[in-house]
Copies of this chain bind each other. A is one copy, B any other.
Amino acid sequence: MARDRHQLLVDTLRRFVRRGADTHLGRVLEKTRSEDLAQALAELPPREGRIIFSKMLEDPQRAAEVVSGYHLPSLAGLFEGLEVGQLSPVFAELSSDDAADILTELPDALSEAILGELEDEESDGLEELMQFGDDTAGGIMSTEVFALSRELTAREAIVALQESVDAEMVFYMYCINDEGHLVGVLSLRQLLTVPPATQLRDVMVSDVISVPITMDQEDVAALVARYDLLAIPVVDEFNKLLGIITVDDVIDVLRDEATEDMMLMAGLGDENIVQRTTFSAIRTRVPWLFAGVVGLMGAAALIRAFEAKIEAVAALAAFIPVVVGLSGNVGVQSSTLVVRGIAMGHIDVRAVGSTVWGEVKIVGGIAVLCGGLVCGISYFVGGNNLMLAVAVTHALFMSMLVAAVVGTSVPLIAERLGIDPALATGPILTTTIDLVGVLIYFVVATFWLGL
């Protein structure tokens, strides 16, 4: 929905709520898609959002759609003042993965009250789902999976499909044996193209791609992307079918993981990109900058330690940012390539040596080219001091290579240690390179200028 059409929707809803124009409001709600309504409600003042949402409760199916599209951490605000009895029908309509995510996010008392209102079977399932780690296959799967015994015929399968109401977006049918183990898959379309009396076991594909319930969500997403799947079944250690992860959830995972990597690399922590308050944004970002302050003050102390050299050759001070800045750029390039390469599955994490060596060759070439330019310009900027130009160039060359090695190896090693590689890079890496760059610069300059 284009931004201006969206703004129009927000304004219209607001106007009708203020006027109490219930009939008009009802008509707008009816003809607007749930996803658009969810976003509009989130942008309205909380009280007005709640008025509209409480009207939608008459149709729990619709309310559930809006709730699924709503910004998760703000849902508690939308639910404020509502009775548990009004909310539980909505939760009964939600797909189990969404319901579990939301219940985890709500205040404990409310979440328990809602679970208490649901049917036992449903609440047991949800409580089980809530146990799984947020970032695992179990945490993002839905338990409403459409599975049939492989002994059924195509005709029976079609009837079963016609009678099913709850299953999430059916396009694959999973076949199970008597023990509930996943033994095959077939597409809805295949089902239509075989004679009605055919047993599923004779047409199903038995080589099913499935994931264990503990698998990291990033790995699940990579599999779905790699094999162009619309859904992937989740199994336990005995290959018993437990749930399904659909491609729309995978898209969310891919987008969120890319966002998270970018945030971490920019020193933004896990800042929520939407609806942050000024205060919470400051709180998330300050620690990274404090770390930067400490590192850069280390660099300052280092420069002060070499102050006698600057007093001897005043122009030395001018080139600190050149050496430090360019090495920082190289370090960011190297680490970005590695972090994204790991996320996309292009980099073999075990091959630290060859990855670092590949990058060192590239940065070596870059350093030679940049070195030529830097030598020429710094000769003039430095007041025709050839030895100074040589020192700057030499320091830059070394410092760039160090940046390449550090920028490549740190995220690789982090990944192998089970630390998020994006977390291990970012501002901390840049500050480290700053410190090393300053040290190299003065040591090299001392040598060439005979200080």
Contact = CB atoms under 8 A, between A and B. Distances in A.
Contacts of A254: 251, 254-255, 258
Size category of the binding interface on chain A? 35 or more
A1 B405 CA distance: 29
A292 interface: yes
A294 B307 CA distance: 26
Contacts of A282: 362, 365-366, 369
Contact of A304 (B289, B381, B431): B381
A290 B307 CA distance: 29
Interface string A142-169: 0000000000000000100110000001
Q: What's the dominant secondary structure at chain A's contact region? A: helix
A431 B333 CA distance: 15
Q: What is the count of identical protomers in the complex?
A: 2
Given A358-B278, A369-B286, A322 B299 contact: yes
B344 A259 contact: yes
A247 B230 contact: yes
Given A169-B230, A370-B293, A321 B299 contact: yes
Contact of A251 (B250, B311, B348): B250
Interface stretch (A54-62, A77-85, A114-122, A221-229): A221-229
Contacts of A162: 192-193
A210 interface: no
Nearest to A293: B373
Contact of A296 (B286, B322, B349): B322
Given A278-B361, A304-B318, A322-B300, A266 B333 contact: yes
